[in-house]
Chain A
Amino acid sequence: DGGITQSPKYLFRKEGQNVTLSCEQNLNHDAMYWYRQDPGQGLRLIYYSQIVNDFQKGDIAEGYSVSREKKESFPLTVTSAQKNPTAFYLCASRVGTVQNIQYFGAGTRLSVL
């Protein structure tokens, strides 16, 4: 089955700890994205990557880091510098630039202990 897999589904972070959220896709998509959703808010873009070994900051990149070493994988690290990390995190990939549709994973709920 083709799709986007995010893990874990739930994650807890202690104060001062870095945590990494996994996102894997087997759709052969070039572009991948990370969003954050807070209650009553839309999706806000954290980081995106149009191609392997390249990525750009989105609107709320502070306190986060990413890597794109493989086409299939785009992990997101929530660092201790992110003071309000509790949110629902969504990973997406895009099928192309003309038909600009992004497909999403099931999300990871991050909470602070």
Chain B
Amino acid sequence: EVQLVESGGGLVQPGGSLRLSCAASGFTFSSAWVHWVRQAPGKGLVWVSRINTDGKSTSYADSVKGRFTISRDNTKNTLYLQMNSLRAEDTAVYYCVRESWYYFDFWGQGTLVTVSS
């Protein structure tokens, strides 16, 4: 059974940093492109970032470019999102998502990040 389990969310002050993790199981993690998608309270889904299988190719939404860094450790079957210079508008549930040829076939349950003083 495919599982994606996010962790690392919490309350952080504006300007602070947080690192999210996503533990993957039930499939060959090293063969999958994976993404982060977020949903702010009362808002819709928004794509944040993606990484290819070996971690050498990444992409970011304009709203997080230069502040967030996506990475992966295929030996640990884990995806990461390092979030720096956090802003109130980064407050959201962050989902770890597996891609399968231009669509998202499995989603984690999400982890809540709250940026507030």
Report if A and B associate in a common complex. Answer: no
A-binding residues in B (CB < 8 A):
none
